[in-house]
Amino acid sequence: STGSGDGWPETVSLVVWGIDTIKTLGEAPAQAFAMLGVEPYPDRTGEVNQLRVIPLSELGRPRIDVVIATSGVFRDMFPATLDLLDRAVHLVAALDESDEDNYLRKHCRETATELGISVDEAATRVFSSLQGRYGTGVSHTVEASAWDSDTDLGEIYLRRQGHAYGAMQGREAVRLLRAAMARVEVSFQNIDGAEQSLADNDDYLDHLGGMTAAVAAASGGRRPRVLTADNYSARAKVRDLDEAIRLESRTRMLNPKWYEAMLSHGFQGVHEVASRLSNTYGWSATTGAVDGWIFSAAAQTFLFDSELRDRMVALNPAAVRAMADTLAEARDRELWQPDASESDRLDEVRDDLDDHLEGVA
């Protein structure tokens, strides 16, 4: 549900990756088909290229409008699946069902009127980057501090991911993606393995974070509910993003067992700690889902504790300075509101780190 007590979300945006699809035997595409109320099945040769519309009486709920945003790897590896997803969307959009039973049809008719296009064109829901390009550009923009608001980040996502696949074969379709994203109530991505979590690298924030920022940009500032599913065990659990980030921060970045293990690897270990903090900041920039206490705890642990800071500086001073800069940027962009003593202490530490890097006694 949307979490607001209003029942089913009308529109869900779904991140679909290539390697994850291989590892899970197609779980994310299957989720898209399920939301639409469509069942793929094989032809007589065994190739899965047929579609069955599940009757509403059997489905037991409305058909969800699903916006499918794939990685470049998925786009390249699974063109037949892109086509099947696109066919499923258009099949559902053309059904003679009520707005209460078929949210996709409802929204396609609204978009067709708003944009002056056909209902069939308005049913475009399968998007990715231009052929030959990979990533959404959002994480690089965050890293370069080349943005003013999450609207800027969302616009970058819309431009990079605004190419339609299936029947449209990669044609530019930014306005169709924008129209679809404007209605998204829930953004979702599967986390398919324990070895790579939300802040281990910037790929998740590039796609799911960028998608969330795109919803805000397209809708005039409204952020969707953001969900993840750790589906790599039999006890899979769906979590809100803020809960998932709290759990990950406690068990990894702020966990002495984790960061001490990282420091045992010397230079690269300190880099990994700094990278995790940077990616956590990226989640705050794109989704606003990072609690302020996480930044405060990171500052207290890695910068304000002089003994630990000195150990890290001895191993990789530039990475420690990068951590201080990340926290300062979070503060300056008002993504973190430290108290006056925290803010002053952060500035003092940054000055000390500057002196160290510049060789000032």
**Which region among 83-97, 195-209, 257-271 has the lowest average model confidence (pLDDT)?**
195-209
Q: How many CB atoms lie within 10 A of CB 259?
A: 21
Q: Residue 336: what are its φ and ψ, rounded to 5°?
A: -140, 130
Residue 3 pLDDT > 60, yes or no?
no
> pLDDT tens digits, residue range 41-73?
999 999 999 999 999 999 999 999 999 999 999
pLDDT in tens, 262-285: 999 999 999 999 999 999 999 999
pLDDT at 5 exceeding the cut of 50: no
**Contact, 228 vs 208, CB < 8 A?**
yes
Q: How many helices (H) and strands (E) does the chain have?
A: 19, 10
DSSP letter (8 states) at residue 3: S
> What DSSP character marks residue 98?
-
pTM to 2 decimals?
Answer: 0.94
- What ranges do the domains of the chain cover? 11-232, 243-357
Average pLDDT, the chain: 95
pLDDT value, residue 210: 98
pLDDT at 93 over 70: yes
The whole-number pLDDT of residue 121 equals 97
- Residue 87 — left, alpha, or beta (φ > 0 → left; ψ -120 to 50 → alpha)? alpha
Say if residue 359's pLDDT is above 80.
no
According to the model, what pLDDT value does residue 259 have?
98
CA angle, 80 then 107 then 69, to 5°: 35
Q: Given a cut of 90, is residue 196 above it in pLDDT? A: no
Is the model's pLDDT at 4 over the cut of 70?
Answer: no
- Residue 1: predicted pLDDT: 53
Per-residue pLDDT tens for 301-355? 999 999 999 999 999 999 999 999 999 999 999 999 999 999 999 999 999 998 8
- Judged against a pLDDT cut of 60, whether residue 101 lies above it is answered with yes
Tell me, what's the pLDDT at 151? 93
Over residues 126-162, the pLDDT tens digits come to 999 999 999 999 999 999 999 998 899 999 999 999 9
- pLDDT of 361 > 60? The answer is no
Task: Tell me what percent of the residues of the chain surpass a pLDDT of 90.
Answer: 91
At residue 213, does pLDDT exceed 50? yes
- Which of 12-26, 180-194, 223-237 is the least confident region? 223-237
| Polymer length in residues for the chain | 361
Strands 163-164 and 126-128, bridge-based pairing: antiparallel
pLDDT for residue 18 is more than 80: yes
Full 3-state SS string of 12-62: EEEEECHHHHHHCCCHHHHHHHHHHCEEEEECCCCCEEEEEECCHHHHCCC
